[in-house]
Structure 1
Amino acid sequence: MIKNFKWLLLVSLTFVACNSDEEPFVDPNSTDGTPLTAGTADFSKYVSLGNSLTAGYSDNALFYAGQDSSYPNILASQFALVGGGEFTIPYMSDNTGGLLLGGTQIAGTRLYFNGTGPVPVPGTPTTDITNVLSGPFNNMGVPGAKSFHLLAPGYGNVAGVLSGQANPYFVRFASSPSTTVLADALAQNPTFFSLWIGNNDVLAYATSGGSGTNQTGNLNPATYGPNDITDPNVFANVYNTLVDQLTANGAKGVVANLPYVTTIPYFTTVPYNPVPLDAATAGQLNAGFAAYNNGLLFAQSNGLLTAAEVARRTITFSASSTNALLITDSYLTNLTSFGIPSLRQATSEDLIVLPARSFIGTTVGGNPAQVNGVSVPLADNWVLTKDEIQEVRVATDAYNATIESIANAKGLAFVNANALQTQIANGGITANNFTITSAYVTGGGFSLDGVHPSPRGYALIANKFLEAINATYGSNFKGVNVGLYRILYPMDPLNF
């Protein structure tokens, strides 16, 4: 009887324990509710390297609030939950954006949406690059930097800004005029780093409509122009040097590859065929281009053009709301010596740059017969043609092969930003009940410059970086709620 009573008491105590008011601990910041862990990573000294995407550039400018929403700052806020240290940022002086050099404005203010389109915020910048900040700084993102710039001595020397030999943003926080971005990063002895670099090695070529030079085969970046494509071997050597030195003392890190620039709103917003014409106007245009079309047939009859190129170059307008734009194309057979210009109409394989939307349809000198994009061809800087797109893609693929190969060899976390952006551009990504797409203004993923992410876009990127870190180092970061991050900034910089 006593024995049975003891067993009954034991069962009763167990039942009480299981029904107590104490709930098991659930960590809201982890993926699985278990206590948050850094895994095998050490986030006590985190340093980020990169370009404008790392700095938090948005709406065509760098400004205080944008820097706060940069993906490295979001990462640092998560790292702080597991022992991550202070994350310092070379903040701009205001939320207006823009730069001064000794009181002279050298960069414009940020954009805001005024209800009909993006316009610059009124006002004058207060950030003068001659006011050098005292570092060091954990966010080493430098807007405009190409891969090889991170290794370039003097990239922070104010004397080289106007000649293009130095970067005004790095001038503000370089430890000395002769230092390099990498040297200032290494001087902090990082235990963890992020590296996202290479976008600008093709971006400037693309945004300029391919007006630069494809430098593939030229191993001397000192001879490159600002809009040129970096040779893939130069990129590979630079990237290998960066990662080798960053990991030399045992630091772990996360790297990201490069999206195709052709998937961003800067290239996908303006259609190739936005020209509305009535029958009379179309007839006048066709009569005007009859001589050009006949010249193409003459060139074909003399073996100078193939039938396929003649068909590609023949200009025809119709009574329609979807006439294709008239463009110049340097990849066409050069017949200027015969008085035949290199003209054709755009196709769906060409991309019209975002700024062209305010240029198409304007007239030359007020002459209603000379309409840009219709009777007057768009110059090369307004269009990224099919052949130029291919050059950008080939270079991007080469850079990405390097990035992934080195990441695998070094055991680094790897973010496939190329696949991420492709998904955003093709239907979008849903997170925290919000669908983020690349639609200009309304999609939520991009800012008003059509190139750089919005705060919500940066939050999504940060979460993807955290997913890669979890997978490689065994951490369990849940990430941030992207819905808490805005899409657009208001005009008033005091009303954020």
Structure 2
Amino acid sequence: MKKFKYIFLSAVLIGFTACSEDDYDYSPTAEPLPELTTGSLDFSKYVAVGASFTAGFTDNALFINAQENSFPNILSQQFAFSNGGSFTQPLMSDNIGGLLYSGNVITNPRLFFNGSGPVGLPATPTTETTSVLSGPFNNMGVPGAKSFHLIAPGYGNLAGVPVGAANPYYARMASSPNATIIGDAVAQSPTFFTLSEVGGNDVLAYATSGGTGVDQTGNLDPSTYGGNDITDPNVFAQVFSGLVDGLTANGAKGALANVPYITNLSHFTTVPHNPLSPANPSFGPLIPTLNGVFGQLNQVYAYLQSVGAISNAAERSVVFSSTEASAVVIKDETLTDISAQMIGVLNASPTFPAFVESFGLPAAAAPLVANLLGSIYGQTRQATSAELLVLPSSSIIGTVNTTTFAYLQSQGLPESLAGQFSVEGVTNPLADKWVLLPSEQLAIKNATDAYNMTIDAVAASKGLAVVDFKGILEEASATGISDSDFTLTTDLVTGGLVSLDGVHLTARGYAVMANKFLEAIDMTYGSNFIAAGVKANTGDYPTNYSPTLQ
């Protein structure tokens, strides 16, 4: 039967071919790929300069497998099909991640997904910062480096690491204590270079700290060296122009990457502004009581509006829904501080002592409670969809703020009442360090736009390729970005593009980035990496690393 079936099928195919020989062509239709051509491009000495992305930082750490999957290393593998030379990296000692300094842990191990969320690897780092490596290194990506750090002598001085005056990642690879990152790169006389994510850390530290200048990220991309303020665009312009001048001084060609809107990353888009669900047994039953308390304050806001002290009482009013998720309560330092006015109104209210007694306190405690309520809620409101909550806030919303708890107890409140008024995002307003306000987001956007204007102008003046990393991230966050058979988004854990820390890319994300560099190189210099099929196969790169990888 098998033989008969195949003979019959052959007869059918012959019949169709005979009937319409001109309309059916059963020869292979895929055309052979063209040979790779790179023209005058010389990849014999490729040097990559940048920060965390260049280094391969992922899952909140740097480790061997991540470095091997860094986009510059992936690029070097494609350059090897032309005239590319060897590509060396300052490899870590393990796949645990994290750093030691004289045996003490100074940055933590990498994150892994435990089935419910990102958690730290339960292991101890083995990479000792004081064991300085012998270079030079083609990969000059230094996690945490801001634009001006690339030209700063002493940024790799081991003596400065314990006091935050130097970067431990650069300290273990610097050619000398007084060396500069750009100096070590230029000294290698690169024939081709990439200069990427310069400017990213110049706004990232400000963003991850909620615009406060206070780091809340643990050791996430340790960009605190030099403070968390946004770098002045004029300073950036001067530094960036100098970097490119140095890298092109001997005629090297290269590719630059612009700066994305980092607020599109999952570090800023994962935690909703309204995570308080009435179905939560720890929150839902308390809603009537909470609304009773805030109802008193809402009346104060309404009165202050009526006398002209504030313009919009509704903006400050807090109401928790019993049918849908409610927004967290935040401190908004852009609001007029009306603490003194609130205290005055509460103390003058004839019904306030009875309200105080409803909490089991004596009426004589009314002035104390008025002072506490005024000081806590003088600049507060519920968050809106315009706010962005940073990823670490997910672990503190709904928990008791121990500092507030201790303070309220010190003011005479009993333990139970102090605890009730110390719940983060509910009765204890989320501090600004957990929230990016619209004004802070605008400051980040304006700086990023200014940086990108500089990058575009410098690239045009030097005839360099530019990777539109900003556009790539916008596309990924809006609709997803496709590469090979994969569509990647910025969703945390499931999106495939952004790693578990919510800021840096996965290995697959870095493969996509490498391909985008190849596209830009083809477009600018007339090579044909993409057309020739000389590119990274994104499916070969993981989106998560196993916790057993150490």
Structure-2-length-normalised TM-score: 0.80
Alignment of 1:383-422 (within 5 A): 383-422=435-474
**1:333 and 2:336 matched:** yes
Q: Shift in Å at residue 25 of structure 1?
A: 10
Which 10-residue stretch deviates more, 276-285 or 98-107?
276-285
Q: Shift in Å at residue 376 of structure 1?
A: 1.5
Partner of 1:356: 393
Deviations 1:318-358 (A, max 9, x none): 21331011111111112234335210111110011111112
Distance 2:141 2:322 in 1: 50
Alignment partner of 1:469 out of 512, 518, 521 = 521
Partner of 1:248: 249
Q: Shift in Å at residue 363 of structure 1?
A: 2.6
**1:235 and 2:236 matched:** yes
Alignment partner of 1:343 out of 375, 380, 394 = 380
Deviations 1:457-484 (A, max 9, x none): 0000000010000000111112111111
Which 10-residue stretch deviates more, 276-285 or 95-104?
276-285
CA contact (8 A) 2:166 2:225 kept: no
Partner of 1:448: 500
**1:289 and 2:294 matched:** yes
Partner of 2:309: 304
CA contact (8 A) 1:445 1:457 kept: yes
Deviations 1:364-400 (A, max 9, x none): 4583564211121111111111111111111111111
Which 10-residue stretch deviates more, 376-385 or 356-365?
356-365
Partner of 2:40: 40
Deviations 1:153-191 (A, max 9, x none): 000001111222110000000000001000000100001
Give the partner amino acid of 2:474: T
Partner of 1:316: 319
State the identity as a percent: 54
Distance 1:110 1:280 in 2: 38
**1:128 and 2:184 matched:** no
Distance 1:90 1:263 in 2: 30
CA contact (8 A) 1:265 1:438 kept: yes
Partner of 2:53: 53
Partner of 2:268: 267
Distance 1:243 1:123 in 2: 40
CA contact (8 A) 2:51 2:143 kept: yes
Report the secondary structure of 1:322's partner residue: coil
Q: Shift in Å at residue 291 of structure 1?
A: 3.5
Report the secondary structure of 2:81's partner residue: helix
Aligned pairs, how many? 455
Distance 1:476 1:149 in 2: 35
Distance 2:225 2:465 in 1: 31
Distance 2:541 2:269 in 1: 24
Structure-1-length-normalised TM-score: 0.88
**1:428 and 2:488 matched:** no
**1:490 and 2:546 matched:** yes
Distance 2:51 2:300 in 1: 48
Q: Shift in Å at residue 108 of structure 1?
A: 0.3
Where do 5+ consecutive residues of structure 2 fail to align? 1-29, 215-223, 342-373, 403-415
CA contact (8 A) 2:155 2:165 kept: yes
Which 10-residue stretch deviates more, 340-349 or 271-280?
271-280
Q: Shift in Å at residue 430 of structure 1?
A: 1.8
Distance 2:401 2:237 in 1: 45
Q: Shift in Å at residue 284 of structure 1?
A: 1.5
CA contact (8 A) 2:102 2:129 kept: yes
Give the partner amino acid of 2:316: R
Alignment of 1:69-84 (within 5 A): 69-84=69-84
Which 10-residue stretch deviates more, 328-337 or 93-102?
328-337
Report the secondary structure of 2:277's partner residue: strand
Q: Shift in Å at residue 421 of structure 1?
A: 0.2
Q: Shift in Å at residue 285 of structure 1?
A: 1.4
Distance 1:403 1:378 in 2: 37
Distance 2:225 2:310 in 1: 34
Over 3 Å counting, the alpha-carbon distance change for 1:224 and 1:114 in structure 2 is closer
Report the secondary structure of 1:81's partner residue: coil
CA contact (8 A) 2:512 2:538 kept: yes
**1:199 and 2:236 matched:** no
Deviations 1:411-460 (A, max 9, x none): 10001100000000011012211111111101110111010000000000
Q: Shift in Å at residue 317 of structure 1?
A: 1.4
CA contact (8 A) 1:274 1:321 kept: no
Report the secondary structure of 2:392's partner residue: helix
CA contact (8 A) 1:407 1:413 kept: yes
Deviations 1:235-263 (A, max 9, x none): 11100111111111111110011111111
Report the secondary structure of 2:336's partner residue: coil
Deviations 1:184-209 (A, max 9, x none): 00100001110011100000110111
Give the partner amino acid of 1:493: L
Distance 1:73 1:423 in 2: 25
CA contact (8 A) 1:258 1:400 kept: yes
Which 10-residue stretch deviates more, 281-290 or 45-54?
281-290
Distance 1:172 1:280 in 2: 54
Q: Shift in Å at residue 277 of structure 1?
A: 2.5
Distance 1:291 1:233 in 2: 49
Which 10-residue stretch deviates more, 376-385 or 253-262?
376-385
Where do 5+ consecutive residues of structure 1 fail to align? 1-23, 27-32, 214-222
